[in-house]
Amino acid sequence: MTYDKKRKKVSENSSHEPPAKKLKKPLTQTQPENDAPSFENSCTADSERPKKRFEKTHGIILSAAAGLFSKKGFRGATTKEIATEAGITEITLYRHFKSKEEIFFEIVKNMSMISISSELFSKIKNYGLKEKLEYIAVNFVRIFKQRAGDFRMILAETITRPEMSRTFFETVPNRAIEMISALMQAEIRNGDIARADPKLLARAFLGMFLAYNIMQEILLGKELESYDENTVVKFFTSIFLNGALKKNAGQKTKPSKNLKS
């Protein structure tokens, strides 16, 4: 066999060999797999877990304290009992709060939502006056009912502790008065309400619902007679806007001939 024939045969045999497989390039840091979490994300998740646990424990302590304060009073409940109720040690409790007073004041601070939030006012800015007042009132009544235990505890403690009373008033009623007063002032400028002290108007409006809630929820008047909250809101709002007397009720009238003096 000549040299040329041998070379041709080798060439034919090599043409039937399978092609070599391409090797995959190893993944680098610039080419992460889609389902593999990045290092930065895993670090962020790890750092958020302790924070979430802390916030959860913080809330549990406040809830446990509010329940005990409502049942036993501020003086009657101890930090040890609060810790036990929360399912933690007293040492853990003191990592969250320096004292029992600090727990109390944070409970009051958290109740600022009851004083009608600014978000609520932004929702009703396009409502009519009657609808605005009814919306504010129905939210106030519902929240008071939901947190009647907190109110009972706070009202009981504010009688003998002036500093707590001051904090409570500034955080809850006064904030509500300021916001409703601003609403009244705007309605006076629009000519929908007669000229009057807007803060007194706010106190009059809020006072009706505060007195009603105290009688029903704190003094347990609801056990003797209950009312539909929507009916109460519409009735009190109507009294506030229109007054209790009819327009001609205050005018003097001549006595009837049939009446004996």
Which pLDDT score is estimated for 73?
Answer: 82
Q: Which amino acid is at 103?
A: I
Cα 144 from Cα 150, distance rounded (Å)? 9
* Domain 55-98 bears CATH identifier 2.40.50.140: no
Q: What is the pLDDT of residues 188-201, one digit of tens each?
A: 998 888 889 999 99
* 191: alpha, beta or left? (left if phi > 0; alpha if psi -120 to 50): left
Distant-in-sequence, close-in-space partners of 140: CB < 8 Å, separation ≥ 6: 114, 116, 176, 206, 209, 213
Helix (H) and strand (E) counts in the chain: 12, 0
Cα 184 from Cα 190, distance rounded (Å)? 10
Q: The tokens of 23 are what?
A: 């090797």
Cα 232 from Cα 179, distance rounded (Å)? 22
Which pLDDT score is estimated for 168?
Answer: 78
Residue with tokens 């403690």: 157
Which pLDDT score is estimated for 259?
Answer: 46
Q: Where are the domains of the chain?
A: 55-98, 111-242
Which pLDDT score is estimated for 33?
Answer: 47
Are 145 and 230 in contact by the 8 Å Cβ rule? The answer is no
Q: Which residues of the chain have pLDDT under 70?
A: 1-48, 111-119, 244-261
Which pLDDT score is estimated for 38?
Answer: 57
Share of the chain above pLDDT 70, in %: 71
Helix (H) or strand (E) holding 156: helix 148-158
Cα 66 from Cα 220, distance rounded (Å)? 19
Q: What is the pLDDT of residues 69-128, one digit of tens each?
A: 888 888 889 999 999 999 999 999 999 999 998 998 888 777 655 545 666 777 888 898
Are 150 and 107 in contact by the 8 Å Cβ rule? The answer is yes
Model confidence pTM above 0.75: no
CATH architecture of 111-242: Orthogonal Bundle (1.10)
